[in-house]
Chain A
Amino acid sequence: MSEPLNLKAKLGLNVFKEDKERHINIKPGMEKDPRLKRAVLVCPAGLYSLNDKGEVEFTIDGCLECGTCRIACGVEVLDWKYPHGGAGVQFRFG
């Protein structure tokens, strides 16, 4: 993120239930794929960021399961599943 905003605080308002594993993973060998950088721009939760070396870092905490990164980066780059049943974000308003 170029600005920290109050995105963390905003995500903190949501209900997230813990999953036993990460449901989105960068495919092995794809860590430096330029398509990953698209996720930095499109992810509504700001989970993808560029580090000092210009590489994409990714955290799953706060994932809204929207699927935008899967569409933007493609399935060659991301191994994308939904979280297990009863895990992940649970919207109270939607």
Chain B
Amino acid sequence: MEERFDAIIVGGGLAGLGAAYTLASEGLEVLLLERGDYAGAKNVTGGRIYLNPVRDMYPDLWKKAPLERFIAHEEVAIMAKERSLTLRYSGEELRTEPYQSYSILRAKFDRWFAKQVERKGAMIVTKSKVDDLIFENGKVAGVKAGEDELYADVVIACDGVLSLLAEKAGLRKPGNPKDYAVGVKEVIELEAAVIEERFGLSEGEGVARLFMGEVTKGMFGGGFLYTNKDSISLGLVVSIKELMENKDRIELPVMFEEFKNRPEIAPLIKGGQTAEYSAHVIPEGGYKALTKLYGDGILVAGDAAGFSMNIGVTVRGMEYALASGYYAAKAVIKAKEKGDFSAKTLAVYEEMLKNSFVMQDFINFKEAPHVLENPRFFTYYPELVTSIMRDLYAVPAGPKERLYPTVKKYLGFKQLWAMAGDMRKVMKI
């Protein structure tokens, strides 16, 4: 039996759900296929979503959304082997509604979002894996899922970072290790009151802490900690290329355990019970690693297209997924008005992205990946900064050195010259 839809969306993550929500709101016949037991069952985030860029695309969504805590405090911890320096930024704007960002758990959020999508009239079938695309006259005409052949005017591939579908459509090649990072995370349960006390939070407030330096043994990446309602998301992100080539042959699970056992971390999670251990690949290749975004009868959105970005101070992906799903849907609506789903018409998707924050961010930050790859950021600078701090705070048995020479001895001409070089590169970001 042949079933036909206006659009088939593959993958119930934020891009897929966002596209389905937008299409169904406009009355299109939409089928979303998700291979997990429920939307969200295969989805992982480090932990934080920024709402400002996507608030207006989904105006009715946020009021009741099951988000965790609004992030009122931004912290960064510079980690050297034996010491660390932590900065905490708190600002009135972070404590004022509408809040800029929230911690989030995807299995919870996506499952809820899927319900809202169904209420808009889209069909969602879970536990169904799409195995292949159906081509007719060189154009994507539908998908194969097991024995089923399902047809649609257009397929939106939101099948995640590996996007086997975009590969089958010839829009991308299998990923190159240098463009991807792997993230691991534990969700550690703690009572809300304990979290608030431990992290100095008022009720409902959350904190985001990024760790850079020794935690990734000098490799490109970092650690993260986000407070949820009654749990903590603690994890590490490391470049796949650097990890697979690391000379000391450190295995990722070992690196993560060492991170958890750091004296800066252990007391924060003390008494907590780990409830889940998850991992996911993150696209980090930036603008240059984006896949082709459309073809005849097909669009690619979210992680599948490479829409995720690490610029050191922020790591973002979910807003790009929600926005690219939204624009993919808008492109399909335009194509339907024209009655033409060829690549020529669907190109409007890329146009719309270029006029939005999505592509503008990717172009503005296109140098970020290779600037941040600099190993000096992960070993040299953390050691330098924390050594200066050690000497500044030290009170020896004898006389204490004057402050200026204390600092000066670390910053000779050679070091300053190298720093200026690094700085010139950083200025490109």
Contacts and interface: CB of A to CB of B under 8 A. Distances in A.
B93 interface: no
A40 interface: yes
Nearest to A35: B244
Contacts of B161: 67
B14 to A, nearest CB: 11
Interface string A50-94: 000000000000001111101110110000011111101111111
Interface in B32-86: 35-38, 40-45
Contact of A10 (B40, B107, B186, B243): B186
A84 B249 CA distance: 33
A91 B182 contact: no
B279 A66 contact: yes
Interface in B273-301: 274-281
B147 interface: no
Main secondary structure of the interface of A (DSSP, over half): loop
B105 interface: yes
B281 A67 contact: yes
B275 A13 contact: yes
Contacts of A88: 42
B275 A1 contact: no
A26 interface: no
A1 B276 contact: no
A38 B240 CA distance: 9
A68 B182 contact: yes
Interface string A1-15: 111011100110110
A44 B279 contact: yes
A44 B252 CA distance: 6
Contacts of A5: 253-254, 257
Interface stretch (B122-130, B365-373, B393-401, B406-414): B122-130
Contacts of A75: 174
A68 B179 CA distance: 12
- Chain B's interface size range is 35 or more
B162 interface: yes
Contacts of B155: none
B259 interface: no
Contacts of B45: 94
Contacts of B126: 85-86
Given A10-B274, A66-B182, A85-B127, A42 B240 contact: yes
B274 A13 contact: yes
- Chain A's interface size range is 35 or more
Given A5-B257, A89-B42, A41 B276 contact: no
B251 A94 contact: no
B40 A41 contact: no
B106 interface: yes
A89 B106 CA distance: 14
B186 A42 contact: no
B278 A93 contact: yes
Contacts of A2: 249, 251, 254
B129 A85 contact: yes
Given A86-B37, A94-B40, A94-B278, A68 B240 contact: yes
Interface in B220-263: 231, 240, 243-246, 249-254, 256-257
A84 B41 contact: no
B352 interface: no
Interface core residue of A5, A11, A13, A71 (most chain B CB under 10 Å): A71
A68 B281 contact: yes
B110 interface: yes
A3 to B, nearest CB: 6
Interface core residue of B105, B187, B253 (most chain A CB under 10 Å): B253
Given A85-B145, A91-B40, A13 B251 contact: no
Contacts of B180: 68, 71
Interface string B127-143: 11100000000000000
A40 B240 CA distance: 12
A27 interface: no
A94 B177 contact: no
B276 A71 contact: no
The 3 nearest A-B residue pairs measured at CB: A86-B127, A94-B106, A44-B279
30 contacts: A1-B251, A2-B254, A5-B253, A5-B257, A6-B257, A13-B276, A17-B37, A38-B244, A41-B250, A42-B240, A42-B243, A44-B252, A46-B253, A67-B161, A67-B281, A70-B174, A81-B164, A82-B35, A82-B164, A84-B35, A86-B35, A91-B106, A91-B278, A92-B107, A93-B106, A93-B278, A94-B108, A94-B110, A94-B276, A94-B278
Given A13-B277, A91-B42, 16 more contacts: A3-B257, A38-B245, A42-B252, A44-B252, A44-B256, A45-B279, A64-B279, A67-B162, A70-B174, A83-B129, A85-B128, A86-B36, A86-B37, A86-B127, A89-B42, A91-B44
